[in-house]
Amino acid sequence: RIWWGFAGSRTARFSQFVRGPNSVLAYARTLGARPGHSSDGHNPLGGWSVIAMLAVLVALVTTGLFAIDIDGIESGPLADYINFDQARSAAEVHETAFNITLALVGLHIAAIAFYFGWKRLNLVRAMITGRRAVSEGETVGDLRWSPVKALIGIVIAGAFAWAVSKGFRF
């Protein structure tokens, strides 16, 4: 997802949906309005939700790679690069990041339900298909995504996952 935030379609790019505090506050003031206004990609508040979720997931995965259990039996593939106490600290941060991830996923699902129930916007369909309902007379720009860039991202992610699973020992 991080790769796609730089190389993906127009609506998937971080530059399209990460906005400053004034935009977020202005958008937050409109949350009670009904019906909602459809927009391409994430709204300013949702954009920061994506950033929060990605940050916590990076912390979760990174600490999981170095974590070790109390008995020292189960450990992440990179745990032997650090000492036991550091690996235990990584495990504690990993657990905290997991709980924060659960909370953020719950908040994400609640937001989707809110938009569907209150604002009458089907965000799930838009997430799956990449298309949203368009109002009469409204025009929507082309998404312009590249299958080549998508394939490059998949190859990079696969190669990195393989290297990590081997503990970067080839």
Which tens digit of pLDDT belongs to each residue from 46-82?
Answer: 889 999 999 999 999 999 999 999 887 889 999 999 9
Task: Count CA within 13 A, CB hemisphere, residue 49.
Answer: 18
Model confidence at 38, pLDDT cuts 50, 70, 90, reads low
> Which is higher by pLDDT, 58 or 119?
58
Judged by DSSP in three states, 137 sits in: coil
Dist. CA 40–CA 14, nearest whole Å: 13
Q: Is the pLDDT of residue 144 over 90?
A: no
104 within 8 A of 112, measured Cβ to Cβ: no
DSSP string computed for 51-74: HHHHHHHHHHHHHHHH-B-TTSSS
DSSP at 112: H
Q: Is the pLDDT of residue 32 over 70?
A: yes
